[in-house]
Amino acid sequence: MEFKDKIVLVTGAGSGIGKVAAIAFAKEGATVIIVDIDEKGGIATLNELKQIGAEGYFQKVNVASFEEQEKMLQGIIKHFGRLDIALNNAGISGPFVRTVDISLKQWDQVIAVNASSVFYGMKLQIQQMLKQGGGIILNTASIAGLRGLPNSLAYTASKHAVVGMTKTAAMEYARKNIRINAICPVFTVTKLFNPDMLEKVAPGIPEKLKKNIPMKRFADPVEVVNAMLWLCSEKASFVTGQAMAVDGGVTA
């Protein structure tokens, strides 16, 4: 029960890595606030928590809105009095096209959901953690935050931003008992990255992507979440400002 009695916020918890993370933290004793713009997915995650006897709450939030995030956090503090761990995990993949073919609307959407939302979250979360004497923030980036990823300029830019914000904020608040890290997974089989669906629209691409991974396979969400659990635990008490690759050796 590594996180017994901890209040943990997980955005994008209605599916994929966020859902697996919410369930994993709940199993370790945390009270989990499940956040997603997808109400159906968020409630489904909440129901899974209830089935294992865990404590959880769902809130429908558009994380790309500062006002909605602010209202959400105010509600958490009013109800629980604190926020121990925040997982800024919500994100979208964006268009799989070359740079000149990205529309301005697509660019703005990816940056808003993947980058601005993390800034909004950290701004609000750090303010609260300063008041309560500490806390932990973990941002979901990607290997696209550590290297280039052709045909995904907007996504790559947004994830580089997440890594940069993580490192900067971690340095600023390291002496305030606030640890801030990022997780950088390779292609992970989720709703966001479905190799079978990708094969239908881009034949041969999934196999090509897999061949570029030294382990010759895609990541399982559980493998990513295991790293997230460690980064948020006391076992990682001296780890901050890191962008941890969980990538089967891609960035080695």
pTM: 0.95
Catalytic residue among 57, 120, 155, 173: 155
Coil, helix or strand for 59? strand
SS3 of the chain: helix, strand, coil, percent, to 5? 50, 15, 35
Domains annotated for the chain, with CATH where assigned, are 7-191+220-246 (3.40.50.720)
Note the pLDDT of residue 49.
96
Q: Which amino acid is at 94?
A: G
Cα separations (Å) of 13 from 23, 50, 191, 195? 9, 15, 12, 21
Helices (H), the chain: 16-27, 39-51, 66-80, 104-111, 117-132, 153-173, 195-201, 205-211, 221-231
Task: Please calculate the CA angle 184-185-187 and round it to the nearest 5 degrees.
Answer: 140
Decide if 173 is catalytic. Answer: no
pLDDT digits (tens, 9 = 90+) for 147-201: 999 999 999 999 999 999 999 999 999 999 999 999 999 989 887 788 888 888 7
